[in-house]
Structure 1
Amino acid sequence: MIETAPITEKAVIVGLINQDQDERQAKEYLDELEFLADTAGAQVLKKFTQKLDVPNKATFVGPGKLDEINQYIKVVEADTVIFDDELTPTQLRNIERELECKILDRTNLILDIFAKRAQTAHAKTQVELAQYQYLLPRLTRMWTHLERQRGGIGMRGPGETQIETDRRIILDKISRLKTQLVKIDKQKATQRKNRGKMVRVALVGYTNVGKSTIMNMMAKSEVFAENKLFATLDTTVRKVVIENLPFLLADTVGFIRKLPHGLVESFKSTLDEVREADILLHVVDISHPGFEEQIETVDTTLEEIDAGDKPTYYIFNKIDAFTYEEKDEDDLSPRTKDNFSLEEWKSSWMAKSNTPALFISAKDKTNIEEFKEELYEKVKGIHSQRFPYNDFLYNEDWTKGIQE
């Protein structure tokens, strides 16, 4: 049998400039949406934006912009139009009727990537639950959509079988999936309990900031890592030993702006490792132009899962990708991030904040020894409180059954 390469879908993406996001933010969000589309397997041909105070209730964008998009996709024969916000069932139906092609929103695209990336039964169950919850209010639209076109981006998982389902069947499946998750959660809770009282450290952060690379470096493991969004869905726990001090290190799913609420709810059990951690290492991609907003997104999500009060330390990663452009003496233009050297970054608000800030490159292993020394001191402090009389006497049974 001859294997053929998957066909790359041609897509255009659409976003708004409004009171919630200015032109700069809209551009950045569309760049991220393009990265999401690329991760899902689509080629983005063009980005459309429109200035609107609020989205059009019927078609998200105005009629004139929708007509402009329609003319373009007919010329380039685009397969898919992706919108950077969650569309209502009415908007989906109206837009699809006008453009006569596959219409996705940001939520559907993220769900598709999660369906593509899910490997374990736990992750697959969580994603499937979120997909059905997204699908339920859009059932009427999906029937006609699937009759015309099936498969491809946005149609993985339950989307492939919805032509034969109705609301009652979906509700039954949602109920069964929730019951299945409860059973899996109990198993996970037992696993965590069996690890004893070892100090737990969790890597958290925006998607694609290098958490899995740090995990591989620290635990000498083979956690999947690549330059794609949501490379990791399942929480991976490994035992790490610095000098003679063992602790548990967890790599968790990355966060993202406008993360679908259904996914947050479905993946709360996966993030139990974060809630039960003694220390959070908040990994930040310092080379990303919008890393401050990414920090805010992660902090907000941590609050949503009741982990906002954990001891947290900023790990600014990817200093190898940071480009320093020295200003000429005659250059009177305002200073930007590109005009800051690494030493100046170390003296900025990040390093002077209440929580320590470290600057590393997990890829090039820059400043890793300093990182390990700081982490060792933090873990040692917690361990000494738990075991004041045998700081460095360890029972080998503690470490049995740790790896998941």
Structure 2
Amino acid sequence: MGCSSCSTGKDGQPKGCKNNGTCGTDGCNKLTVFDWLSNMSLPNGQKPFDCVEVRFKNSRKEFFRNSENLSLSIGDIVATQATSGHDVGMVTLTGELVRVQMKKKKEDYTNPQLPTIYRKASQKDIDKWQKCRDREEEIKKRAREIAIILKLQMKISDVEFQGDGSKATFYYTAEDRVDFRQLIKDMAKAFGIRIEMRQIGYRQEAQRLGGIGSCGRELCCSTWLTDFRSVSTSAARYQQLSLNPQKLAGQCGKLKCCLNYELDVYLDALKDFPSQDTKLFTEKGMAFCQKIDIFKGSLWFSYKDQPANWHELTKDQVIKIQEKNKKKEKVASLEEYAVENVEELEKVFENVVGQDSLTRFDAPKRTKNKKRSKKRRKPAPKKRPTNNA
């Protein structure tokens, strides 16, 4: 990730390419596609694919036809056809992989009405485009103020200028249908440009704005996730997660997309487990399943009259009790089976720092009693030598 311009400078600070999110090598952008066919040459007589993929602000990507047969590579800034005027974007993919991407997104590459690429962007085009990008934050703030004055129940989350500066697209989120005709008139009068309003969902808003998730990493939707699958609360139930909306909801206010990542593994593991609605019949009464742990292979049951007292049973024990219940036989109690699962474990404290003591570097302390005893001690009298003459 990153190119040579991202290396550290002389003062210890990263140099950076100063492109404000439009990296020249497309190495620092999100949703970057790796061209694994770049080193392979085409067969003899085959012409290169005449369509390219161009990325605009945030994650918006579109396909254009290279009708002028320009020599394009990933990272080139190009001027493309728009509804009126021209737009400026960056080439993110060329060659045969564009055909694969168009088939995946159900785009017809034989369509003669496919928009075209005019030319490689000149310095004048880039300067004008950059000037428009610098105005986006100011215009977004002013548009929000106009929407508040008109008392519209909507939130303008992002603004995207066209490359030639003649048009701006405002992305907004709203719960209900919004009549923004007066808003368009006021904004067109205030900014002097053509206005287009486009409603997006809350997940798309989080994708465009980005952020840090509860896991400490960048949001999946703003880095690599390209499609939004529906997430239901049953995904949390299958994984035995507490139905706490504050923990299960992401920054978009919807259920986190990562709840679907491990769901298939849990569903495969639960195929061999008894159902959550399993009821066991004993002589002490009926027992209901309270909890399932697929990692330990255990189930917790409690009697109908004693819902606070849980008894842990293994999966095989529950199946055995179910087979007896099918034969209209009742077991004595759950305690008989639960006692078999109790294992007395001795508490073993390990020395986590190794064999050495934590006080090995400290100087040994002498007690005061030893010092006093040394002071009271008198030196022994020296023996005089005797003459044996």
Higher relative contact order (CA 8 A, sep 6+): 1
Give the number of the structure whose alpha-carbon radius of gyration is greater.
2
| TM-score above 0.5, yes or no | no
Which structure carries more helix by proportion? 1
